[in-house]
Copies of this chain bind each other. A is one copy, B any other.
Amino acid sequence: MKKPNRARSRTSIREQQRLDPSEREGIIAREAVSFFAEYGFEGQTRELARRLRITQPLLYRYFPSKEALIERVYQEVFVERWRPSWEAIITDRSVPLKTRLIQFYREYAGVILTYEWIRLFMFAGLKDLGLNARYLKMLRERAFEKLIEEIRFEYGRPSTRDLPITVLEIEMVWGLHAAIFYLGVRKFIYSMPLETDVNSIIDAKVTTFLGGIRSILPAKETV
């Protein structure tokens, strides 16, 4: 008497399925992002495999080591999700400055204020000594410095090429960034539901920011 109920296989219902390597690799990478965001990089490869409904050694066919998989996660989240168009938004002088800032920060917040981004960034910071500093250096160069240049221009101050960005200026920008980033920390790390709409917080913060930064800008140039 052979087992009557199964058509072809011995594993429960789902059949072993062979996927195209590039497709499988993408599936693993995507799940790894979600998985490590939840458990941190100490999360076990066996558990990740279970969530993928594959066996653990299969991971090693696509990634030579756990560390390589983590590198891929970094790439997937911190590199791929950066949008070059943001730099264009900031410098587009056909649009009012405040509008540009609000648009940039709304879009940027839309990307980083996610469970995956916030938690992975924090896990990386606590573990890896280089990644976050590298990312924030990029953020400073591609966004913050351009942003200060635009503010200088708006208020008729010297270009940052002629007069370097001051500590006070960059500190104000960090403050604005902190306020937005911290929303993600509250929500995704402390599990505290936000009571307010993120976009309106951003609008308010940008308004306060623009009001405050004017007073600490360098003096107007005397020709």
Residues of A within 8 A of B (CB): 40, 42, 119, 122-123, 125-127, 129, 132-133, 136, 167-168, 170-171, 174-175, 177-179, 181-182, 185-186, 189-192, 195-196, 201, 205, 208, 212
Q: A189–B122 contact, CB under 8 A?
A: yes
Complexed CA–CA distance, A190 and B208 (Å): 26
- Contacts A126-B122, A174-B186 given; does A133 touch B192 at CB 8 Å: yes
- List, in ascending order, chain B residues with CB within 8 A of A132's CB: 189-191
Majority SS at the chain A contact face:
helix
| CB nearest to A176 among chain B residues | B179
Complexed CA–CA distance, A36 and B122 (Å): 16
Q: B190–A170 contact, CB under 8 A?
A: no
Which of B42, B167, B182, B208 is in CB contact (< 8 Å) with A182? Answer: B182
- List, in ascending order, chain B residues with CB within 8 A of A179's CB: 175, 178-179
Complexed CA–CA distance, A191 and B170 (Å): 17
- Contacts A126-B40, A181-B182 given; does A136 touch B190 at CB 8 Å: yes
Closest 9 CB pairs of A and B: A178-B182, A125-B189, A132-B190, A167-B195, A42-B42, A175-B179, A178-B179, A178-B178, A167-B196
Q: B212–A208 contact, CB under 8 A?
A: yes
**Minimum CB–CB distance for A137 against chain B, Å:** 9
- List, in ascending order, chain B residues with CB within 8 A of A201's CB: 171
- List, in ascending order, chain B residues with CB within 8 A of A192's CB: 133, 136
Q: A175–B125 contact, CB under 8 A?
A: no
- List, in ascending order, chain B residues with CB within 8 A of A126's CB: 40, 119, 122-123, 126, 189
Q: A190–B123 contact, CB under 8 A?
A: no
Complexed CA–CA distance, A145 and B190 (Å): 19
Complexed CA–CA distance, A119 and B182 (Å): 15
Which of B127, B174, B182, B208 is in CB contact (< 8 Å) with A174? Answer: B182
